[in-house]
Amino acid sequence: METIRTAAWMKQKARAARQEQKIIGLVPTMGALHAGHMALVGRAKHECSPVYASIFLNPKQFAANEDLSRYPRPLEADVEKLRSAKVDGLFLPDAAEIYPAGFSTYVQVDGLSERLEGRSRAGHFRGVSTVVLKLFEIVQPNFAYFGRKDAQQVRIVQQMARDLNLDIEIVVCPIVREADGLALSSRNTYLSAEDRKAATVLYRALRAAETEIASGVRDALYLQGTMQKVLHSEPKARVDYAEIVDAETFEPVVRISRRYYAVLAVYIGKTRLIDNMLIEPVGDDLRTEV
Ligand code: AMP
């Protein structure tokens, strides 16, 4: 597996692959790879050749008070995982390569970027959409793979792709979880043993809402109340938000009938975790997927 550190070289490789009519797959990550990331890689390997993964800890999507400096960076282990998965190339630029002196252009997806995660993390999605567009320009993928774990992020990327006429298929992959339901996340390494136990409360809250939906509840406020109740039963949990939102607009809803997400952001101690459940209609019924 080749490691590519410059945008110019990555572009040249991509251009050559495109000229040979190859189907390029891209899996963008911030590193500290786990089975969630590797599921995206697996899907990409199934559908594309060559497959490029990128590892770039994007400073522009971290607010000043966030965890950029202590974010885990186990680069050697990451490289080994990608090599074992037979990824064709790792795009590993440093910050100066992506944001050279004088960098001053940003992508802002209005509306969607201001709600929920955007409200709690000022500037976060502007940083995400900017870096994702740059990665798309540099790697020139036909397919790009994202996890539903970050449902609002992938919705924003889809909106950007649509608004800017990008010729890239955005593929959304299911959430990979631990045996006890905790969604895999690079940030789970911050959790103490006790926090780790408490962290399952996000999954338990989603499952409680799921059970109520299965028994016929359609009132979004009632379902939010259920999730809040479960979350508040865990003394280590501090809720940032627990809402049912429209899957297109991420606006709050009253009655569930179309495609929705139940979305959670919860602090366990000092660690902020997010999770979600997809709710979608099938015929006259609703299907849920945590
Ligand atoms: P990150 O390194 O956190 O930026 O994540 C890179 C990609 O992996 C994003 O598209 C995430 O949504 C996806 N991802 C992270 N955790 C999971 C998970 N538990 N299951 C599925 N995809 C995930």
pLDDT in tens, 108-164: 999 999 999 999 999 999 999 999 999 999 999 999 999 999 999 999 999 999 999
Can you give the pLDDT at residue 290? Answer: 98
Catalytic positions, please? 37
φ and ψ at 159, to 5 degrees? -65, -45
* SS3 of residue 120 by DSSP: helix
β-strand partners of 274: 265
Residue 68, burial from CB neighbour count under 10 angstroms (0-12, 13-18, 19+): middle
pLDDT class of 95 with cuts at 50, 70, 90 = very high
**What's the token pair of residue 170?**
């955005």
Q: Which residues, 6 or more positions from 265, have their beta carbon under 8 angstroms from its beta carbon?
A: 116, 117, 120, 239, 240, 241, 242, 272, 273, 274
Mean pLDDT for the chain overall: 97
Which residue puts its alpha carbon closest to atom 11 of ligand 1? 147
CA of residue 167 to ligand 1 center, whole Å: 22
Instruction: Decide: 274 in ligand 1 pocket, CB within 6 A.
Output: no
φ and ψ at 111, to 5 degrees? 80, -80
Can you give the pLDDT at residue 162? Answer: 98
The stretch 190-196 carries a mean pLDDT of 98
Can you give the pLDDT at residue 136? Answer: 99
pLDDT class of 256 with cuts at 50, 70, 90 = confident
Which residue puts its alpha carbon closest to atom 17 of ligand 1? 36
Shortest-distance atom of ligand 1 to CA 186: 3
Shortest-distance atom of ligand 1 to CA 153: 12
**What's the token pair of residue 219?**
């009132």
Please tell me whether the overall predicted TM-score, pTM, comes out greater than 0.85 for this model.
yes
Which strands make up the sheet holding 2-4, listed edge to edge? 2-4, 89-91, 51-55, 25-29, 143-147, 169-173
Instruction: Decide: 186 in ligand 1 pocket, CB within 6 A.
Output: yes
Instruction: Decide: 61 in ligand 1 pocket, CB within 6 A.
Output: no
Instruction: Decide: 149 in ligand 1 pocket, CB within 6 A.
Output: yes
Instruction: Decide: 91 in ligand 1 pocket, CB within 6 A.
Output: no
